[in-house]
């Protein structure tokens, strides 16, 4: 009896510990932010398609009111390409047919290009993904210009994205103005406006704006390996979030305001870890827990190679009407989806589209995901 | 034996695990919680600064409980729509007499508050349309679509799912804010109002839709975490790094200057953006419709096609929702262009304001003068003093600016303290190819970048700034200004039911005391 009592007590202690663990996992807030100055900025979704009238305006600003800052930035081109023609294709399974009828495969790809941006004190700067930023467009192209204290944008040149259509991400790391090595400071903020310019009919513009997600610097050393979170005092940056929380309307849900438009949400996820030095991919898996308004829970998983950009209802199936993200399946209008990277941290953004038939979306709204709990293991970004 | 062996390590392991986990949770909370507001993490107090249901636009609120237990919230709509002082017509309150009223009239914000309670089960999301609210209707289908109902001549909506409660539609036209804070019970117990609870369980988004065009914009609610060790059960949420996190020291937006040309539209559709009609930017008649190219109608400015204009929506961090007395605050706005040139403006914020950049200042945001892109910094200075409490609130002859130097300026029971901080949301409107109409093509809302933490003033010595109570040597009781160091030294009285020890004054929200009847 004594033994069983002790067992009960110890079981209770363990249960209490596990409860604490669960409670702490729920309550601890993440330390990545989409509304703070940071040492690393991540724009998960940069899209451009000159033929379809889509481009992204990228804005970045220095919040330091006295000193210039520099950023080492990386476009990640996540386009897939046909193995035979090299043309951009959407996904494995797409047809890559040459004029002679020879078929190729659509191969996922990721190619990185990098550039530097120098911002003077308090300065905002902007460019479009398709246009980039040439030296002649810079407000203060060289020292001795109109900017204060001899500061200038010298050293800045933003290339246009390498392909159209383009889907990819942008990461910028705050670096020393002189030697371009990572430093702290947390002085970068940014946002992106995804814009569609549709000329059909009378023509119209639709736009959605989200904030770049920031990873705050602790004390980065000057090497090329940026350690994000993790124990043992090795962390140079605060950790990525353990869980991303997305509030959304289920795909196909009727807009409760117009009662005619239908909702379609695109989710973009990118890994916290990336190896820009060797361009090696370490795919990770995203787990999705989906709650409807009946408190019913569904789940699915999907691999995230270097970038996942998908309509919600195509994450778990190729038949959107059968998806757990479809309003007809879930039964309610609103959903909450919790996303966890199984073997690495994730960063994301969402775009809500309001559709009226098969035309381009009538309305676009981009927004940031919520972030909960810190990852206990490190994520790493290696830069050249 | 096996059991005994396990016992030896199970006990210390369990205890150690519990201790480690508790410490870890605490440490995680401390690291993650910078004591500041956030738009991407859940909170106890959540603020939707811009909610519109005025017949031309409507708002869809999505809200979810991120915790694994049922949670409750008390929500308050504050209608900041203006009405012309004589005609009562809808107008825009703002600097000077405001906007949209005939000469001789001023636009007055009525700041009417209405409230309701909701409950969300574990991890439950919910949604409602502001103009209709959401009825409780167990007979809702499960077809993923809401149904419009007419209830006693009022348009309501029922949606599938567990209804969170009767979400009321606010008085309309509605232009204002929505605040929700977590409570310990649903609507309180008989004879006792609900108390705020530091559960940090809620997150939300607002999607504003233009009814005619279907254009949408969406932003995250701005959320405040609360500290369960400090949050008490009175009807005051103190935003002072004690009970609840503090407002940011400053907000920043990076955006197009007023009536700058949308560079993406101009690049992708140059002919459409440089022919037809545009809007005059700068000069003597900014905003006037002009003909491209050339725009001879513009008096000194330039005719811009595919122009972008922006609105900023402001709400104060300090609000007396109980008394519905507005404590004004002077909002400082600084626009920095790409050449680092900084120009500033200011205005007095009441309960709510939604102003386009040219309404805030006709000159400092103008693309013709300032270039294409700006960074705008918004803040209030704590050193500007306003009455935060006192008989001046009920004095019809009192100066509505509530400016003070000492407690005595605020009448009996007066508290003179720092003027409120400010929260804001920006929304950009893309005129597209339809500048000749009043209809915008696209809209995009965005949350601010929130920088630093707002500081306040020590109640006992207004010359001393503070970030938290520990920065002050002591405080004064709210009711009778006797010296104190803890709330227990300030007993509630009939006239001051929320008596407390004011130490570091930063911001506070006095919530309506809704006491359910005793059956």
pLDDT for res B191: 75
- Is the confidence at residue A51, as pLDDT, over 80? yes
pLDDT for res A204: 87
Q: Is A245 within 8 Å of B22 when comparing Cβ atoms?
A: no
CA-only gyration radius of chain B, Å? 25
Most confident region among A353-362, B92-101, B344-353 by mean pLDDT: B344-353
Burial class (CB in 10 A: 0-12, 13-18, 19+), A319: exposed
| Chain B residues closer than 8 Å to A121 by CB | 340
For chain A, what is the mean pLDDT? Answer: 89
The percent of residues in chain B predicted with pLDDT above 90, rounded, is: 70
Instruction: Give B9's pLDDT tier (boundaries 50, 70, 90).
Output: very low
pLDDT tens for A235-256 read 999 999 999 999 999 999 999 9
pLDDT for res B135: 96
pLDDT for res B8: 43
pLDDT tens for B146-165 read 999 988 888 999 999 999 99
Kindly state whether A66 is in contact with chain B, defined as any CB-CB distance less than 8 angstroms: no
Q: Report chain B's terminal Cα–Cα distance, integer Å.
A: 60
Return the minimum-mean-pLDDT range out of A51-55, B288-292, B430-434.
Answer: B430-434
Kindly state whether B157 is in contact with chain A, defined as any CB-CB distance less than 8 angstroms: yes
Edge to edge, the sheet with strand A363-368 lists A308-311, A262-271, A346-355, A363-368
- The span from the CA of A214 to the CA of A230, in Å, is 17
Q: Is B342 within 8 Å of A122 when comparing Cβ atoms?
A: yes
| Chain A residues closer than 8 Å to B432 by CB | 197, 203-205
Q: Are A177 and A46 in contact (CB under 8 A)?
A: no
Q: Is B66 within 8 Å of A20 when comparing Cβ atoms?
A: no
Mutation site, B4, B17, B41, B257, interface A, largest A CB count within 10 A: B41
pLDDT tens for B332-369 read 999 999 999 999 999 999 999 999 999 999 899 999 98
pLDDT for res A283: 83
Q: Is A333 within 8 Å of B252 when comparing Cβ atoms?
A: no
Interface of A with B in 135-154 (CB under 8 A): 139-140, 146-148, 151
Helical segments of chain A, H only: 2-27, 327-330
Instruction: Give B37's pLDDT tier (boundaries 50, 70, 90).
Output: low
For the residues A278-282, what does the mean pLDDT come to?
84
Q: Is A53 within 8 Å of B121 when comparing Cβ atoms?
A: no
Distance from CA of B249 to the nearest CA of A (A): 12
For the residues B433-453, what does the mean pLDDT come to?
78
Q: Which residues contact A249 (CB under 8 A, 6 or more apart)?
A: A255, A263, A265, A327, A333, A334, A335, A352, B62, B127
Distance from CA of A218 to the nearest CA of B (A): 11
pLDDT tens for B160-217 read 999 999 999 999 999 999 999 999 988 877 777 888 999 999 999 999 999 998 999 9
- Is the confidence at residue B15, as pLDDT, over 50? no
Q: Is B39 within 8 Å of A369 when comparing Cβ atoms?
A: no
According to DSSP, residue B370 is labeled H
Nearest Cα to Cα of residue A213 among A227, A192, A230: A192
- Is the confidence at residue A128, as pLDDT, over 50? yes
pLDDT tens for B53-64 read 999 999 999 999
| Closest in A13, A28, A255 to B32, CB measured | A28
Q: Which residues contact B489 (CB under 8 A, 6 or more apart)?
A: B477, B482, B501
pLDDT tens for A298-323 read 999 999 988 999 999 999 999 999 99
> Helix or strand or coil: residue B447?
coil
pLDDT for res B518: 67
Instruction: Give A93's pLDDT tier (boundaries 50, 70, 90).
Output: low
Distance from CA of B455 to the nearest CA of A (A): 18
For the residues A149-164, what does the mean pLDDT come to?
93
Mutation site, A31, A49, A195, A293, interface B, largest B CB count within 10 A: A293
Interface of B with A in 252-311 (CB under 8 A): 252, 254-255, 262-265, 267-269, 272, 306
| Chain B residues closer than 8 Å to A202 by CB | 433-434
| Chain B residues closer than 8 Å to A333 by CB | 127, 144-146, 159-161
DSSP readout, A259-321? SS-EEEEEEEEEES-EETTT-----EEEEEEEE-TT--EEEEEEEESS-EEEEGGGSS-S-GG
Structure-token pair, residue B414 = 């007066």
- Is the confidence at residue A18, as pLDDT, over 70? no
> Helix or strand or coil: residue B209?
strand
| Chain A residues closer than 8 Å to B24 by CB | 24
| Chain B residues closer than 8 Å to A250 by CB | 144
Instruction: Give A32's pLDDT tier (boundaries 50, 70, 90).
Output: low
Mutation site, B444, B448, B450, B453, interface A, largest A CB count within 10 A: B444
| Closest in B162, B200, B448 to A27, CB measured | B200
Nearest Cα to Cα of residue B435 among B303, B277, B311, B286: B277
User: Which position has the higher pLDDT, A342 or B28?
Assistant: A342
pLDDT for res B12: 45
Distance from CA of B460 to the nearest CA of A (A): 33
**Residue B115 CB: number of other CB atoms within 10 A?**
17
- Is the confidence at residue B36, as pLDDT, over 70? no
Q: Is B32 within 8 Å of A209 when comparing Cβ atoms?
A: no
Query: Is the bond preceding A165 in cis, omega lying within 30 degrees of 0?
Result: yes
pLDDT for res A129: 98
Distance from CA of B348 to the nearest CA of A (A): 25
Structure-token pair, residue A305 = 């190679």
Strands A106-107 and A80-82: antiparallel
Q: Is B32 within 8 Å of A204 when comparing Cβ atoms?
A: no
DSSP readout, A159-182? PPPSSSSEEEEEEEEEE-TTT--B
For chain B, what is the mean pLDDT? Answer: 88
| Chain B residues closer than 8 Å to A6 by CB | 7, 11
Kindly state whether B35 is in contact with chain A, defined as any CB-CB distance less than 8 angstroms: no
The label of the residue with tokens 């006239």 reads B495
- Is the confidence at residue B7, as pLDDT, over 50? no
| Per-residue CA distances from A42 to A38, A128, A168, A347, B57 (Å) | 10, 16, 11, 8, 32
Helix axes A2-27, B2-32, angle to 10 degrees: 20
Q: Are B375 and B257 in contact (CB under 8 A)?
A: no
The percent of residues in chain A predicted with pLDDT above 90, rounded, is: 69
pLDDT for res B107: 94
pLDDT for res B275: 87
| Closest in A14, A33, A120 to B340, CB measured | A120
Structure-token pair, residue B307 = 């122009």
pLDDT tens for A166-203 read 999 999 999 999 999 999 999 999 999 999 998 877 78
**Residue B90 CB: number of other CB atoms within 10 A?**
16
pLDDT for res B188: 79
Nearest Cα to Cα of residue A302 among A346, A265, A336: A346
- The span from the CA of A142 to the CA of A158, in Å, is 16
The percent of residues in chain B predicted with pLDDT above 70, rounded, is: 91
- Is the confidence at residue A84, as pLDDT, over 90? no
pLDDT for res A107: 86
Kindly state whether B425 is in contact with chain A, defined as any CB-CB distance less than 8 angstroms: no
Interface of A with B in 154-213 (CB under 8 A): 189-191, 193, 195, 197, 199, 202-211, 213
Distance from CA of B143 to the nearest CA of A (A): 5
Q: Are B183 and B74 in contact (CB under 8 A)?
A: yes
Kindly state whether B214 is in contact with chain A, defined as any CB-CB distance less than 8 angstroms: yes
CA-nearest residue to A149 within chain B is B340
For the residues A286-293, what does the mean pLDDT come to?
98
Return the minimum-mean-pLDDT range out of A205-209, B34-38, B74-78, B293-297.
Answer: B34-38
The percent of residues in chain A predicted with pLDDT above 70, rounded, is: 91
Q: Is A27 within 8 Å of B29 when comparing Cβ atoms?
A: yes
- The span from the CA of B459 to the CA of B442, in Å, is 47
- The span from the CA of B287 to the CA of B259, in Å, is 8
For the residues A38-62, what does the mean pLDDT come to?
96
Burial class (CB in 10 A: 0-12, 13-18, 19+), B455: buried
- Is the confidence at residue B519, as pLDDT, over 90? no
Kindly state whether A279 is in contact with chain B, defined as any CB-CB distance less than 8 angstroms: no
- Is the confidence at residue A68, as pLDDT, over 90? yes
> Helix or strand or coil: residue B251?
strand
Q: Is A332 within 8 Å of B306 when comparing Cβ atoms?
A: no
Interface of A with B in 323-382 (CB under 8 A): 326-328, 330-336, 338, 352, 354, 356, 362-374
**pTM for this prediction:** 0.91
Nearest Cα to Cα of residue B429 among A203, A267, A195, A54: A195
| Chain B residues closer than 8 Å to A21 by CB | 17, 21
User: Which position has the higher pLDDT, A11 or A157?
Assistant: A157
């Amino acid at each position: 009896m004594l033994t069983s009592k002790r067992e009960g007590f110890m079981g209770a202690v363990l249960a209490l510990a596990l409860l604490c663990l669960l409670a702490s996992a729920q309550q601890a807030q993440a330390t990545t932010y989409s509304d703070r100055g940071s040492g690393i900025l991540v724009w998960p979704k940069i899209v451009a398609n000159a033929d379809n009238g889509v481009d992204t305006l990228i804005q970045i600003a220095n919040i330091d009111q006295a000193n210039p800052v520099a950023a080492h930035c990386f476009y990640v081109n996540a386009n897939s390409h046909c193995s035979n023609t090299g043309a951009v294709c959407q996904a494995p399974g797409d047809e890559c047919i040459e004029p002679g009828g020879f078929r190729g495969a659509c191969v996922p790809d990721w190619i990185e290009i990098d550039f530097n941006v120098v911002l003077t004190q308090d300065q905002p700067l902007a460019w479009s993904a398709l246009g980039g930023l040439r030296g002649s467009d810079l407000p203060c192209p060289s020292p001795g210009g109109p900017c204060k204290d001899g500061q200038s944008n010298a050293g800045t040149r933003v290339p246009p994205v390498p392909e159209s259509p383009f889907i990819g991400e942008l990461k910028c790391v705050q670096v020393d103005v002189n030697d371009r090595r990572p430093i702290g400071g947390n002085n970068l903020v940014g946002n992106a406006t995804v814009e569609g310019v549709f000329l059909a009919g009378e023509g119209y513009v639709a736009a959605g704006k989200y904030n770049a997600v920031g990873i705050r610097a602790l004390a980065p050393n000057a090497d090329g390996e940026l350690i994000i979170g993790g124990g043992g005092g090795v962390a140079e940056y605060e950790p990525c979030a353990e869980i991303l929380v997305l509030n959304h309307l289920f795909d196909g849900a009727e807009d409760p305001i117009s009662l005619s438009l239908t909702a379609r949400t695109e989710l973009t996820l990118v890994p916290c870890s990336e190896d820009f030095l060797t361009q090696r991919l370490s795919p990770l898996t995203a787990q999705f827990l989906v709650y409807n308004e009946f408190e019913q829970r569904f789940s699915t998983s999907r691999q995230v190679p270097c970038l996942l950009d998908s309509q919600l209802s195509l994450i778990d199936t190729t038949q959107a009407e059968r998806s757990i993200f479809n309003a007809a399946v879930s039964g309610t209008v609103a959903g909450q989806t919790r996303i966890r990277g199984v073997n690495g941290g994730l960063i994301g953004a969402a775009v809500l589209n309001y559709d009226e038939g098969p035309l381009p979306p009538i309305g676009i709204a981009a927004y940031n995901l919520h972030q909960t709990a810190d990852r206990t293991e490190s994520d790493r970004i290696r830069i050249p | 034996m096996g059991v005994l062996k396990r016992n030896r390590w199970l006990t210390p392991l369990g205890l150690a695990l519990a201790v480690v986990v508790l410490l870890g949770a605490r440490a995680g909370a401390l690291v993650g919680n910078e004591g500041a507001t956030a738009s991407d993490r859940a909170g106890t107090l959540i603020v939707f600064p811009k909610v519109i249901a005025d017949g031309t636009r409507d708002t869809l609120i999505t809200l979810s409980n991120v915790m694994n237990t049922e949670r409750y919230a008390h929500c308050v709509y504050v209608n900041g729509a203006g009405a012309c002082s004589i005609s009562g017509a809808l107008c825009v309150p703002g600097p000077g007499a405001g906007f949209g009223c005939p000469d001789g009239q001023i636009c007055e914000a009525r700041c009417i508050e209405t409230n309701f309670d909701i409950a969300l089960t574990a991890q439950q999301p919910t949604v409602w349309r502001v103009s209709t609210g959401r009825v409780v209707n167990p007979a809702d289908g499960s077809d993923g679509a809401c149904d419009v109902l007419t209830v006693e001549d009022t348009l309501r909506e029922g949606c599938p799912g567990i209804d969170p409660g009767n979400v009321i539609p606010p008085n309309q036209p509605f232009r204002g804010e929505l605040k929700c804070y977590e409570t310990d019970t649903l609507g309180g117990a008989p004879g006792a109002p609900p108390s705020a609870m530091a559960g940090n369980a809620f997150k939300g988004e607002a999607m504003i839709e233009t009814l005619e065009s279907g254009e949408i914009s969406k932003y995250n609610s701005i959320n405040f975490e609360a500290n369960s060790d400090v949050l008490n059960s009175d009807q005051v949420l103190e935003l002072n790094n004690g009970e609840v996190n503090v407002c940011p020291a400053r907000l920043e937006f990076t955006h197009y200057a007023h009536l700058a040309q949308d560079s993406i539209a101009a690049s992708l559709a140059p002919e459409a953006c440089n022919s037809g009609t545009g809007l005059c930017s700068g000069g003597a008649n900014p905003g006037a419709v002009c003909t491209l190219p050339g725009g001879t109608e513009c008096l000194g400015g330039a005719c811009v096609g595919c122009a972008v204009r922006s609105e900023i929506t402001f709400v104060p961090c300090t609000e007396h929702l109980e008394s519905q007395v507005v404590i004004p605050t002077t909002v400082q706005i600084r626009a920095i262009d790409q050449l680092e040139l900084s120009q500033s403006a200011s205005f007095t914020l009441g309960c709510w304001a939604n102003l386009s950049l040219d309404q805030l200042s006709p000159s400092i945001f103008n693309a013709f003068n300032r270039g294409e892109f700006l960074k705008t910094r918004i803040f209030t200075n704590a050193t500007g003093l306003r009455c935060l409490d006192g008989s001046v609130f009920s004095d019809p002859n009192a100066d509505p600016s509530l400016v003070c130097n000492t407690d005595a300026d605020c009448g009996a029971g007066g508290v003179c303290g720092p003027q409120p901080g400010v929260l804001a949301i920006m929304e950009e409107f893309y005129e597209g190819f339809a500048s000749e109409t009043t209809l915008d093509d696209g809209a995009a809302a965005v949350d601010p970048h929130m920088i630093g933490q707002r500081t306040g003033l020590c109640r006992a010595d207004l010359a001393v700034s503070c970030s938290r109570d520990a920065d002050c040597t002591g405080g004064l009781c709210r009711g009778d200004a006797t010296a104190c160091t803890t709330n227990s030294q300030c007993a509630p009285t009939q006239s001051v039911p929320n008596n407390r020890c004011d130490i570091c004054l930063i911001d506070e929200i006095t919530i309506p005391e809704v006491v359910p009847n005793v059956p």
